[in-house]
Amino acid sequence: MRKFLLRLLVFTLFCCMAGEIIIRVFRLVPDVPQRFVDKTGIQRYIPGQHGYFTRATEPWHINQYGWLGMADTKNDTLISIIGDSYIENMMNPRSCNQGSLLKGYMPDYGFFEAGRSGVSFIEAMEISNFLDSTIHPKYNLLYVSNSDFTESLTNKKRLSDIVQIDLKNNKILVGTLKSPKLKKMLYSCKLLYFLYLKFPVLVNKEDKEKHQHTDASSQPFEEQDINQLFQYCQNHYKIKKTMLVFHPGADKRVIQLASQYGFRTIILDSSQDKRSWALNENDGHWSCYGHSRVAEQVNEQLSKIIIDLKGE
């Protein structure tokens, strides 16, 4: 029995070591950057980090501002691009980022990308406020999907790790980092993280819900709440310079309300495209092709909006 257990232990250790090496060499799990919560309550990444997404050929880098992607702050006419993991875009080369693609269409403008996985609509608005006070963009482009609005509201469910708004008290609730030390350990030990992703027993329902981009039909439409949310935005943010870029399948009622409150809206449509925008069957994030199609549609509608705004 002793020999059996000893062999089993040694073999397990051998597997762990070999597994760790193979996972690192073949990049079977993504490197996940560490976050911090800044003074304004926004979660950003600790600057200077770099790593690779699963099977990626190009590394990601966290810039001095705590985001990934373009940070062309020298340009006088700057457009900020705010959003979640779609904008963060770790899974594609940097040339497929919205900033890089839009720069190709609009060379006179500078672009600043502020994307972070799990950002809610209200946190995106907070980020726009923060950028307005620091890098002074001319326009803010917020890429949003249906779930971003409901996730912003505490009266549905308090998601403790993201920024939300308590509509009853008109108060922004800052998110807190969940077990950062444990997460750091998990992300550092690649084998452990690999097993965690394969057997997601510890992923709670809250997290699962948070990362799903659902279509309009599956989302309840709480008109009063969304009205209140936009009312709050009208009073606290510069919405005239904020353009909401709605993901394909966004709820038309939300888009309509957003327009009524003064947001400029850009609506993405993938229904006419024979080719899928998604990375693959299991990952709905946009591929390079998807990003290029998005940038094409954004450029088209954004150019019209800018002309309109100049005329006003």
Partner 1 sequence: MLFNSLSFAIFLPIIFFLYWFVFNKKLISQNFLLLISSYFFYACWSWHFMFLLLFSTLLDFYTGRKIEAAENIAQRKFWLWLSIVINLGFLGIFKYYNFFIESFADGLSLLGIKINPWTLQLVLPIGISFYTFHGLSYVIDIYKNRIKAEKNFVEYGVFVSFFPLLVAGPIERATHLLPQIQRRRTFDYSQAIDGMRQILWGLFKKLVIADNCAMLANNIFDHPSAHTGSELLLGAIFFAIQIYGDFSGYSDIALGTARLFGIELLKNFAYPYFSRDIAEFWRRWHISLSSWFRDYLYIPLGGSKGGTWMKVRNTFIIFLVSGFWHGANWTFIIWGGLNALYIMPSILRGTNRNNLGIVAENRVLPSAKEFLQILTTFALTVLAWIFFRSINVGEALFYLSGIFSKTLFMRPEISGTANIILILTGFFFIVEWIGRHNNFALSNISKLPLPLRWTFYFGLILLMFIYQGQAQTFIYFQF
Chain residues in the site for partner 1 (CB under 8 A): 1, 3-4, 7-8, 11, 14-15, 18-19, 22, 28, 194, 198-199, 201
Burial of 235 (0-12, 13-18, 19+ CB in 10 A): exposed
Which one, 169 or 199, has the nearer CB to partner 1? 199
Closer residue to partner 1 in complex, CB, 55/184? 55
How long a stretch of residues is the chain? 312
Q: How far apart are CA 39 and CA 61, in angstroms?
A: 22
Rounded to the nearest whole angstrom, what is the least distance from the CB of residue 284 to partner 1 in the complex? 17
**Residue 115: strand pairing partners:** 83
**Least distance to partner 1, CB of residue 118, Å:** 26
Give 15 or 185: the residue with its C-beta nearer to partner 1: 15
Q: In the complex, what is the shortest distance from the CB of residue 1 to partner 1, in angstroms, rounded to a whole number?
A: 5
- Residue closer to partner 1 (CB basis): 39 or 198: 198
Q: How far is the CB of 4 from partner 1 (least distance, A)?
A: 5
Least separation in angstroms between residue 166's CB and partner 1 is 38
Rounded to whole angstroms, the Cα distance separating 191 from 197 reads 10
Instruction: Pick the closer one to partner 1 by CB: 74 or 198.
Output: 198
Nearest residue to 299 via CA among 102, 87, 78 = 102
First to last CA, the chain: 84
Query: Smallest distance, Å, CB 263 to partner 1?
Result: 41
Backbone angles phi, psi at 143, to 5 degrees: -90, 120
Q: Are 151 and 164 in contact (CB under 8 A)?
A: yes
Contact 69, 93 (CB under 8 A): no
Report the Cα 36 to chain-centroid distance in Å: 16
Least Å distance, CB 255 to partner 1, is 35
With respect to partner 1, which residue has the nearer C-beta, 22 or 182? 22
> 66 near 45, Cβ under 8 Å?
yes
For partner 1, the closer CB: 26 or 36: 26
Tell me the backbone φ, ψ of residue 109, rounded to 5 degrees: -100, 155
Pairing of strands 78-83, 110-115: parallel
Q: How far is the CB of 205 from partner 1 (least distance, A)?
A: 17
Query: CB of residue 38 vs partner 1: minimum separation in angstroms?
Result: 38
Is the four-CA dihedral 52, 31, 287, 104 of positive or negative sign? negative
Beta-carbon contacts of 130 under 8 Å, excluding residues fewer than 6 positions away, are: 38, 40, 42
Query: 12 vs 212, which CB is nearer to partner 1?
Result: 12
Q: Which residues contact 122 (CB under 8 A, 6 or more apart)?
A: 152, 163, 164, 165, 172, 229
Q: Which is nearer to partner 1, 17 or 182 (CB)?
A: 17
